[in-house]
Amino acid sequence: MTSRAEWTSWALARLALSPAQVADRVVRLTGLPDSARAREVVELHLCALDVSLEVGAPDLLVPQLLWETHRWAQVDPPSGGPGVGAAVAFVLGEHLDELTVLSVVRHVEAAEAAAAAVVRRTPSRHEREGLAALSGDAADYLAHAIAGRHDEAIALVEALAGAGWSVHDVLLGLIAPAQEELGRLWERGALSVAQEHMATAVTHLAMYALYPRLAGRAQLGLSLVAATPPGDLHSVGLRMVTDLLQQRGWDVRYVGTSCPVDDVLAAAVEVDASLLLLGASMTCHLPGLRDAVGRVRADPRCDGLTVLVGGRPFREVSGLGRWVGADLTAGDANDALAAVDGLLDPEVVSRP
């Protein structure tokens, strides 16, 4: 993760220290090793706190707190040392006025209470053994993906497609729930980083195997560009949406993850796009997303371009699209497809 150069929120922007300087101080206070893994945890915490304060939504900090709860042992903190949250509060107390610190502490307490409620509702690791959250074909697919059995995973996808499953059904009824459960298992510490990466790589192969089935659909005469902002490397959800919109007749330009905003704008202008899809998978990606939307709004070449933003943060916090500046928001692929369909005359919407 690249360190952020400045703060976003009204509270942390009052600090005379940069995010990197606060991260250094927190690492020392916690006694964490000065390693890339430890620093990443601290920087992600600071980023999520900063953005959640700016938006005024403690829920945006919750995923980071849950991640720390379950993954903290991986950075091997010394026993008895303060956690990241306590160390951050101490640093803020050194440099900010009492009222600002109190506001931040109350914000964090609300997020911690929400995270604790999630933990109480979450089954233990033992109860989750056997991928119990899934059943049938989705469980079989995820088991193949986690084990790296790409041939078996692709064979299952192709068998279902051959048995009459539409691409829509395979993507959103099989692969999407499997990926959702994959992320949950990783966040809860039931899978290693290597297992999560390997399973996602298998999913990319399975989606490529479906791609030939997208061809031959009638065209709407409309173009879209899809990307994630700089720093966001997550692509599965956005790819699902663009593949299904291609099947519905859109001319799709998927320009990839962590794409420079200038390149996104150039692609939109080149194809005279009617729609721009931007995804953000984590709270920390929201400032980059907001910047990208702002750049679109400021570019006269993009007048009339509709901007749809989506991803996990938009599922967790309502009204977030207004802060980003987008026209439409979506928490998942189904929401995105419905939002895009809503832009069209019902008579021309092509459904699977």
Name the CATH topology of 218-348. Answer: Rossmann fold (3.40.50)
pLDDT band for 197, please (50, 70, 90 cuts): very high
Residue identified by tokens 């074909």 is: 137
pLDDT band at 3; cut points 50, 70, 90: low
Domain boundaries, the chain: 12-121, 126-212, 218-348
Burial class, 304, CB count within 10 angstroms (exposed 0-12 / middle 13-18 / buried 19+): exposed
Q: Which of 185, 157, 159 is nearest to 170 (CA)?
A: 157
Asked whether residue 260 carries a pLDDT value surpassing 80, the answer given is yes
| Cβ within 8 Å of residue 92, ≥6 positions away | 12, 15, 100, 101, 104
> CA-to-CA distance for 303 and 23, rounded, in angstroms?
40
Q: Please measure the distance between the N-terminal and C-terminal CA atoms of the chain and give it in whole angstroms.
A: 39
Q: What integer pLDDT is reported at residue 2 of this predicted model?
A: 47
Q: Give 268: exposed, middle or buried? Use CB within 10 Å, 0-12, 13-18, 19+.
A: buried
* 139-149: pLDDT as tens digits: 999 999 999 99
- DSSP per position, 286-301: HHHHHHHHHHHHH-GG
- Fold: same for 126-212 and 218-348: no
Sign of torsion, CA 313 334 149 257? negative
Give the span between the Cα atoms of 101 and 319, in whole angstroms.
Answer: 26
Please report the pLDDT score of residue 66 as a whole number.
87
Q: What is the pTM of this model?
A: 0.86
pLDDT single digits (tens) 209-252 = 998 888 656 578 899 999 998 888 888 999 999 999 998 889 99
Closest CA to 208 of 167, 255, 256, 180: 167
Q: Please name every residue paired with 251 in a beta bridge, in sequence order, or none if there are none.
A: 223
Fold of domain 126-212: 1.10.1240
In the prediction, which pLDDT does 128 show? 47
Residue 254 pairs in a beta bridge with 226
| Four-residue CA torsion sign, 96, 101, 103, 105 | positive
Which residues are within 8 A (CB) of 65 and not within 5 positions of it... i.e. 6 or more apart? 85, 111, 112, 115
Between CA 102 and CA 218 the distance in angstroms is 58
CA distance 40 to 166: 40
Residue 221 sits at the vertex; the CA angle it makes with 215 and 222, to the nearest 5 degrees, is 95
In a 13 Å sphere around the CA of 251, the CA atoms on its Cβ side amount to: 12
DSSP 134-187: --HHHHHHHHHHHTT-HHHHHHHHHHHHHTT--HHHHIIIIIHHHHHHHHHHHH
Per the CB < 8 A criterion, the answer to whether 226 and 243 are in contact is: no
pLDDT class for 268, splitting at 50, 70, 90?
very high
Distance CA 273, CA 275 (A): 6
Q: 228, 285 in Cβ contact below 8 A?
A: yes
pLDDT digits (tens, 9 = 90+) for 297-313: 999 999 999 999 999 99
- Is 128 within 8 Å of 70 (Cβ atoms)? no
| pLDDT value at 71 more than 90 | no
- Pair 84, 108: CB distance under 8 Å: no
> E strands of 48-137, at which residues?
none
